[in-house]
C-alpha cells in the first residue's frame, strides 16, 4: 500500500486573528469576539478569544457574562461573519493550491492530501512549514498543521500542534500517540457518547482500543465499530473534494415597526424558506445560522449558532426562532429582521450530511 500523507490545516483563534489583521493595536492584548457583554449583563457567548485572553481562563463557548466577570478590561468585539468569510476564502484558496486534493471542513479548517507533493516525513515537515509561512506572510494569520497518514491522525495531531505549531505522527506511532488521550478527545466522540463510554469503563482511547468490537457493535451499532477502529488509529476515509461559498441571507423590513412576536416568527418562516431555496439551488449544506434584528432606532444585533451540516429548512426556522426569543429585547420595536446561513459547503458527488449524527 502506498502511504498517504494528510495535513489538517487549522487556523488559530480564527475570528480574533482576523480582527488582528485590521486592528493591529489589539495584538498581544486579551481580546474576545462574541456577544456584547453589556457590563456583565449581556447574554450570549464567547465565539473566539485569543491566547492572551485564554491565560485568564476565557474560552470559546463560555457565557459572555462570565468572561466579562473574569476579565472586564479585555477587548470585546462584535461578530462580523461577512469579514471572516472573506478572509476564510483567501486562506482556503491559498491552502488549496498546496494540495493534491482538498476538503474544507469549516470556515477555518481543511484537510490536504499531499501524498504526491512530498517524498517522506522529512519532506512533509518542510512542506507544512512552507504552508504556514505562506499563510502568515500573505494573509497575516497563524495556523497549526497536524500531519498523519489518515484524516483521523492529522486531526488529532493538530490539537497537539496548537498554537502556531506543526505536529507529525508517523504511521507506526499512530496507535500509541492517541492511546493515552482521554476518550472524549477521540475524533467522533461527542459529549453524550463520551459519558456512555466512560460509564462502561473506557476512560482513555487505549481502553477503547482493547474493547471487543462485537460489544461495540451491540451497544452503538456501526458507529461503535467505527469508534473502535479510530481508537486503534485506523481511519481509511478519503479526502472528499469540496468547495464553499460565503453565505446566503435574506432580509425583510416590516411595513410598520413591530414588537409582536407573531410578526417576527412569520417573517423568520418566510425568510428561511427563501434562504433554503437558494441553498438547495446551489446544492450546498450549511452549518451556521444567523439572525439580524434591527430595532426602530436602527441599532442592530446579530446572533448566530452553529449546528451539524444541514440542508433542512426546519433547522433554519428552529434555530432562528430560538435566537429571536432569546435575544429580542422586550419593550422595543423591530424595523427589520434578517436570516442568514453561512459555513456553506458543497461536496462533489457524495453528500456528507449527518456524519456522526
Ligand atoms: Mg481553528
Q: Catalytic residue positions?
A: 109
Å from CA of 339 to ligand 1 middle: 25
Which CATH code is given to the segment(s) 1-178?
3.30.70.270
CATH 3.30.1490.100 positions along the chain are 244-347
Q: How remote is the CA of residue 204 from the centroid of ligand 1, in Å? A: 24
CA 159–ligand 1 middle distance (angstroms): 10
pLDDT of the residue at 245: 62
Grid cell, residue 256, equals 410598520
Ion ligand 1: residue ranges with CB closer than 5 A: 10-11, 108
CA of 15 to the centre of ligand 1 (A): 9
Contacts 24+ apart (CB under 8 A), 313-320: 313/272, 313/273, 313/276, 315/289, 316/272, 316/275, 316/276, 316/286, 316/289, 316/341, 317/268, 317/269, 317/272, 319/289, 320/268, 320/271, 320/272, 320/289, 320/291
| Cα-to-centroid distance, 153 and ligand 1 (Å) | 16
Q: Would you state the torsion angle of the CA atoms of residues 34, 291, 12, 86, taken in this order, to the nearest 10 degrees?
A: -130
CA 56 – CA 30 distance, rounded (Å): 8
Rounded-to-integer distance, Cα 16 and Cα 53, Å:
11
Sign of CA dihedral 14, 16, 17, 18: positive
- Are the C-beta atoms of 10 and 148 separated by less than 8 Å? no
- Quote the pLDDT of residue 7: 98
- For residue 243, what are the contacts with CB-CB under 8 A and spacing of at least 6? 104, 345, 346
Say which CATH architecture domain 180-231 belongs to. Orthogonal Bundle (1.10)
Do residues 70 and 58 touch, judged by C-beta distance below 8 A?
yes
Ligand 1 centre distance from Cα of residue 9 (Å)? 9
Residue 99: closest CA among 122, 119, 74, 118:
118
* pLDDT (0 to 100) of residue 339: 97
Task: Give domain 244-347's CATH superfamily.
Answer: DNA polymerase, Y-family, little finger domain (3.30.1490.100)
Q: Which residues of 44-69 are buried (b: 16+ CB within 10 A; e: fewer)?
A: bbbbbbbbbbeeeebebebbbbebbe
Length of the chain: 357
Q: Which pLDDT belongs to residue 303?
A: 85
Report the pLDDT value the prediction gives residue 244, as an integer from 0 to 100: 64
Q: Where in the chain is the domain with CATH 1.10.150.20?
A: 180-231
pLDDT score, position 240: 80
| Contact indicator for 289, 302 with CB cutoff of 8 Å | no
Question: Which regions in the chain score pLDDT beneath 50?
Answer: 1, 350-357
- Going from the Cα of 238 to the center of ligand 1, the distance in angstroms, rounded, reads 21
Give the Å distance between the CA of 12 and the centre of ligand 1.
Answer: 5
pLDDT of residue 27: 95
CA of 168 to the centre of ligand 1 (A): 18
- pLDDT for residue 2: 60
The pLDDT assigned to 258 comes to: 96
Amino acid at each position: 500500500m502506498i502511504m498517504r500523507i494528510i495535513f489538517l490545516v487549522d487556523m488559530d483563534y480564527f475570528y480574533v486573528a482576523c480582527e488582528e489583521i485590521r486592528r493591529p493595536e489589539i495584538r498581544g492584548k486579551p481580546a474576545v469576539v462574541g456577544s456584547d457583554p453589556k457590563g456583565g449583563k449581556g447574554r450570549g457567548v464567547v465565539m473566539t478569544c485569543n491566547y492572551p485572553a485564554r491565560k485568564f481562563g476565557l474560552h470559546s463557548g463560555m457565557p459572555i457574562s462570565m468572561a466579562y466577570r473574569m476579565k472586564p478590561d479585555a477587548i470585546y468585539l462584535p461578530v462580523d461573519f461577512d469579514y471572516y468569510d472573506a478572509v476564510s476564502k483567501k486562506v482556503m484558496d491559498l491552502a488549496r493550491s498546496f494540495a493534491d486534493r482538498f476538503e474544507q471542513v469549516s470556515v477555518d479548517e481543511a484537510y490536504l492530501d499531499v501524498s504526491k507533493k512530498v517524498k517522506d516525513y522529512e519532506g512533509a515537515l518542510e512542506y507544512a512549514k512552507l504552508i504556514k509561512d505562506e499563510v502568515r506572510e500573505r494573509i497575516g494569520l497563524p495556523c497549526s498543521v497536524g500531519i498523519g497518514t489518515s484524516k483521523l491522525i492529522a486531526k488529532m495531531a493538530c490539537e497537539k500542534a496548537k498554537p502556531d505549531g506543526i505536529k507529525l505522527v508517523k504511521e507506526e506511532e499512530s496507535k500509541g500517540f492517541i492511546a493515552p488521550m482521554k476518550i472524549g478527545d477521540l475524533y467522533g466522540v461527542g459529549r453524550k457518547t463520551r459519558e456512555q463510554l466512560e460509564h462502561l469503563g473506557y476512560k482513555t482511547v487505549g481502553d477503547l482500543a482493547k474493547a471487543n468490537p462485537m460489544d461495540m457493535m451491540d451497544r452503538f451499532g456501526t458507529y461503535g465499530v467505527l469508534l473502535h477502529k479510530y481508537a486503534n488509529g485506523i481511519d481509511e476515509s478519503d479526502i472528499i473534494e469540496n468547495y464553499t461559498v460565503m453565505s446566503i441571507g435574506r432580509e425583510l423590513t416590516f411595513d410598520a415597526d413591530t414588537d409582536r412576536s407573531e410578526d417576527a416568527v412569520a417573517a423568520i418562516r418566510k425568510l428561511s424558506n427563501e434562504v433554503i431555496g437558494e441553498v438547495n439551488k446551489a446544492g450546498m449544506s450549511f452549518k451556521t445560522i444567523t439572525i439580524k434584528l434591527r430595532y426602530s432606532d436602527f441599532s442592530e444585533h446579530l446572533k448566530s449558532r452553529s449546528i451539524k451540516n444541514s440542508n433542512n429548512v426546519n433547522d433554519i426556522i428552529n434555530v432562528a426562532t430560538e435566537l429571536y426569543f432569546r435575544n429580542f429585547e422586550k419593550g422595543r420595536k423591530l424595523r427589520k429582521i434578517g436570516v442568514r446561513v453561512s459555513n456553506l459547503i458543497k461536496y462533489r458527488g457524495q453528500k456528507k450530511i449527518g456524519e456522526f449524527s
